[in-house]
Structure 1
Amino acid sequence: MRKPTLMRSMFDAVFHKPIMQAVDGYFQTFTAYAPRFTSWSGGIYEAELTRSIIERNADHASKLRPEISGTAQPQWTRSLQWQPNPWMTTPQFLHRISTMLDVCDTCLIVPVDGGDGITSAGYYPVLPSQCEAYDVDGALWLELRFPGGDKTLIEWSRIGVMTRHQFKSDLFGDGTNVLNPTLDLIHAQEEAEKTAIEQGAAVRFIGKLSQNRNPEDTKKSAEAFNEQLGASNAGGIVVYDNKYQEVKQIAPQSYTVDAAQMERIEKAAYRFFGSNEDIVMNKADEDTYNAFYEGRTEVFAVQLGYVLTAMTFTPNEIAHGNSIMFSANRLEFASNQTKLNVSTALFDRGIWCGNQVAEVFQSPSYPGGERHVIRGEYIDLDLISQHTSEQAAAAAETNANIAAIDGKKKEGEDASQTE
């Protein structure tokens, strides 16, 4: 019996062989009669620079933490906390979504079938070779085709669609073809450097013969001279006789992109992905990381939260406060002084508990750390009129008298015990 391939097994595990339904033709949109998404097979993930940028973006996105609100929490929302599907942990899930979104400008997230064809057990980001929108009984469905030949139809309402650069298409991102000129320049630079190394390793000479010779004798003289330049010449010395009037070495010259032009190429890649060299090289300081978080990671987190909320909950459940959001502890990248200032201010005012402060400093939680406390000198603004300076002085005097009376009682008790 032939063993099924991995693609077939994973396809069955995610979709459980759904029955293909009859379609009524392409779904009509405003801008295209046949809306279609095709995963790009270009070199955007093959170039070292762009892959490094994509990878670092995904690394920071993988640190996001899901926060599920509301009472309607089905099984697949619980799985989102640690393992959205049997093959990925939550950080791996977020990492792949970010990577697919950067490479293809579109990322599709489908529910993992719970086995009964009704319930969902988790989420899985799929990378079909082609996705087309169809009309099924007046509703929008997507047909997903995979490289192994598998295909399925699934309702648009059950799919999460993440997009970037969405303009021409009503449903999908417009693709990353705009980066092709930059990729071509990066490839040309790499080829030029390779050629320069190869040419620099070769020794070339130009010689002038001392007398006129026919083409055949000239060719034989050149071949005889070239034999001395081979690997068998261990001494590295080339000799020639009076047949040659003059022999000069040719200095290899090859064109490579200068530093200023290479910097412009790199900045074009950084602009496209919303990153910079400090982020990619892990040299970012607090201000640089905060700018990167707000400009890239937070945007990704907000869109992913809305997409998963829409595909998980019904409109009625969303109206009653059920939602999925993603957040990150940005203070983990801050300096110790900033961590201390923020933690002190929020802890003293009862906003944070002790365990939240411990989390900022990567310390373990402790018993009782879930309690919220507040500094004693703070007072409710609505009660300020009840706490004048005269009342405070009177209260202090009363407390002093009570303390004095208690002290005398204690002295009397000690004296009686001595007797």
Structure 2
Amino acid sequence: MPNLLQRLFNRKKEPSRVDRVDVMSGSPATFTPFSGDAYESDIYRAAVDAIARNAAKLKASHVVTMGGQRRPGDSFLNRILQVRPNPYMTAYDLLYKLTTHYYLFNNAFAYLQKDERGNLQAIWPLRPLSMEYLMDATGTLYARFVFSGGQEVTLPFSEVFTVRRHFNGNDLLGDPNTAILPTLDLAHTQNEGLKNAIRANATIRGILKFQQVLSPEKLKAEKEAFINDYLTITNAGGIAALDSKSEYIPLELKPYSIDDKQLQAVKQKIYDYLGISEKIVNSTYNEEEWAAFYESVIEPLALQFSLELTDKLFTPREQAFGNSILLESNRLQFASNTTKTNILKELMPLGLFTINQALEILNLPSVEDGDRRLQTLNVVSAEKADQYQLGGNNE
């Protein structure tokens, strides 16, 4: 990776003089990854994975909207956004990684590689050891990244894709995940407690007490002989015969066990922190639960990504002419067959869907000449309805 970074940034010209940015909160705008190892928690990782897997199915598109009409934008830009953002990742990989960084560090960064004319060439997700915002004498904002291999690069803020979560304490960065650290520690303690309880049941179950003093070697030999004779499955009768020289004292170990309610309470705190339900994690959700998850988690994330990409890829003039990036998903694909049928039955007569769009909702392949709309004759435009009521007289 360091060699890749060197090839990627070797042409970047460092600004002559920059100073650290102190934001309005009074603290420097410096980012360091969360050190709580949240991703090492199986509960936290499974929850983040569930969000990232679904967010990665979003489709990013360059569109041009003018006069209320939306049309597809540049095909080369759409290929970068939808297929291959860089030579080593698919669009799914990029969105998955950025979403994972977003929930692990509450900050996600990517380098928007552009050519001399400002056209996007590739998108590279960044995983720095640290990052700080800088500003030069002209007021231009920069971001200085330090990576694990010691590579350091300073990029103009206009070429850095950045999204933030828990955006409160710092004016340029999201707050760290320290609020969930006690819960993650508790989840780790629970796992260790269960492991120790299992181990305790497999250790000492009794004391063999001798009435005379024995050497360590003789004591060990007597213990091994007692185990082989009485504490194996070959002792079918379950009876041990001892003389007066020794006494066996059984131990009743009652290790502390964690009940299901305690385990579920800790798990639920992590899910609540991430804003999802357990059914989303284990993929047992119904239509209503999926809709709630999409609207509360996926849709806000898609809006953040859309606004950031639009601002970083297009100039204010280009945006004024309707250029934007949208991240969307066909939500009806997750609806039940009954809901899909009812929607098509109610809306297709109004001409709101083409034939191929209706087939896509039903997860069926498109057909030739399917990009046309069908409309019932019972529905007419408002102008023609006025002409019909007035008998063709506009007065």
TM-score of the two chains, using structure 2 as the length reference: 0.88
Output aligned runs, 1:298-309, within 5 Å. Answer: 298-309=299-310
Alpha-carbon deviation of 1:382? 3.8
Q: Which residue of 2 aligns with 1:415?
A: none
- What residue identity is the alignment partner of 1:350? G
Counterpart of 2:131 in structure 1: which amino acid?
Answer: C
AA aligned to 1:285 is: N
The aligned residue for residue 91 of structure 1 is: 92
Change (3 A) 1:174 1:74: farther
RMSD: 2.6
SS at 2:18's partner residue?
coil
- Residue 81 of structure 2 aligns with an amino acid whose one-letter code is L
Q: Distance in 2 between matches of 1:183 and 1:156?
A: 34
SS in 2 for 1:248: strand
Question: How far off its partner does 1:204 sit?
Answer: 1.7
Name the CA shift for 1:235/1:53 in 2 (closer, same or farther; >3 Å). Answer: closer
Residue equivalent to 2:22: 28
C-alpha contact (below 8 Å) 2:61/2:78 kept by paired residues: no
CA contact (8 A) 1:134 1:143 kept: yes
Q: Which residue of 2 aligns with 1:195?
A: 196
Alpha-carbon distance in 2 for matches of 1:305, 1:100: 17
Would the alpha carbon gap of residues 347 and 203 (structure 1) be closer, same or farther in structure 2, given more than 3 Å must change? same
Q: Please show how residues 288-307 of structure 1 align to structure 2 within 5 Å.
A: 288-307=289-308
Q: How does 1:8-407 map to 2 (within 5 A)?
A: 8-70=2-64, 73=74, 75-114=76-115, 119-137=119-137, 138-206=139-207, 217=214, 223=220, 226-228=223-225, 237=235, 239-244=241-246, 247-387=248-388
Q: CA deviation at 1:229?
A: 6.0
Residues in 2 aligned to 1:231 and 1:103: alpha-carbon distance in whole angstroms: 52
Q: What amino acid is the match of 1:178?
A: A
The structural deviation recorded for 1:177 is 1.6
Query: Which letter does structure 2 place at the counterpart of 1:202?
Result: T
Deviation at 1:371, TM superposition (A): 0.5
State which drifts further: 74-83 or 198-207.
Answer: 74-83
Deviation at 1:218, TM superposition (A): 9.8
Over residues 10-46 of structure 1, what are the superposed CA-to-partner deviations in whole Å (9 max), with x where a residue is unaligned? 2134334413223332113101342101122432111
Instruction: State the SS of the aligned residue for 1:45.
Output: helix
- Look up the SS of the partner of 1:191 in the other structure: helix
Look up the SS of the partner of 2:31 in the other structure.
Answer: strand
CA distance in structure 1 between the partners assigned to 2:304 and 2:87 by the alignment: 24
Structure 1 residue 251 displacement after superposition: 2.5
1:281, distance to aligned residue in structure 2 (A): 0.7
| Identical positions, percent | 28
How many Å apart are 1:89 and its aligned residue? 1.1
Kept in 1, the 8 Å contact 2:113–2:123? The answer is yes
Alignment partners' CA distance in 2, 1:365 and 1:162: 36
Q: Give the distance between the partners of 2:226 and 2:342, measured in 1 at CA.
A: 70
What's the CA shift string for 1:33-92, capped at 9, x where partnerless? 421011224321111111111111011001111132228749545411211111111111
What is the one-letter code of the residue matched to 1:347? Answer: M
Is the Cα–Cα contact under 8 Å of residues 166 and 174 in structure 1 kept in the other structure? Answer: yes
Question: Residue 70 of structure 1 aligns to a residue in which SS?
Answer: strand
Question: How far 1:224 moved relative to its partner?
Answer: 5.1
| Structure 1 residue 263, shift from structure 2 partner | 1.2
The alpha carbon displacement at 1:384 in A equals: 3.0
| 74-83 or 85-94: bigger deviation | 74-83
- Check whether the contact 1:85–1:112 (CA below 8 A) recurs between aligned residues: no
| Cα distance change of structure 1 residues 8 and 76 upon mapping to structure 2, 3 Å threshold | farther
Structure 1 portions without partners, runs of 5+ = 1-6, 392-419
Compare CA radii of gyration and give the structure with the larger one.
1
Q: 1:261 to 1:105 in 2, by over 3 A?
A: same
Matched letter for residue 112 of structure 1: Q
Q: Which residue is equivalent to 1:412?
A: none
Contact 1:15 / 1:113 at 8 angstroms: preserved in 2? no
Give 1:102 shift. Answer: 0.7
State the distance in 1 between where 2:313 and 2:146 align. 23
Farther-moved stretch of structure 1 (65-74 vs 224-233): 224-233
TM-score (norm 1): 0.83
Q: What amino acid sits opposite 2:196 in the alignment?
A: T
Residue 206 of structure 1: how far off its partner (Å):
3.4
Give 3-state SS (helix, strand or coil) of 1:253's partner: coil
**Count of residue pairs the alignment pairs up:** 378
Q: Distance in 2 between matches of 1:155 and 1:248?
A: 75
1:110-142: per-residue Cα shift (whole Å, max 9, x none)? 11254x696530212111110011122222111
Q: 1:411 is matched with which residue?
A: none
CA–CA separation in structure 2 for the residues paired with 1:94 and 1:310: 18
Q: CA deviation at 1:383?
A: 3.4
Offset, 1:239: 4.8
In structure 2, relative to structure 1, the CA distance for the partners of 1:250 and 1:75 (3 Å cut) is same
- Structure 2 unmatched runs, 5+: 66-72
* Contact map agreement 1:354 1:371 (CA 8 A) in 2: yes
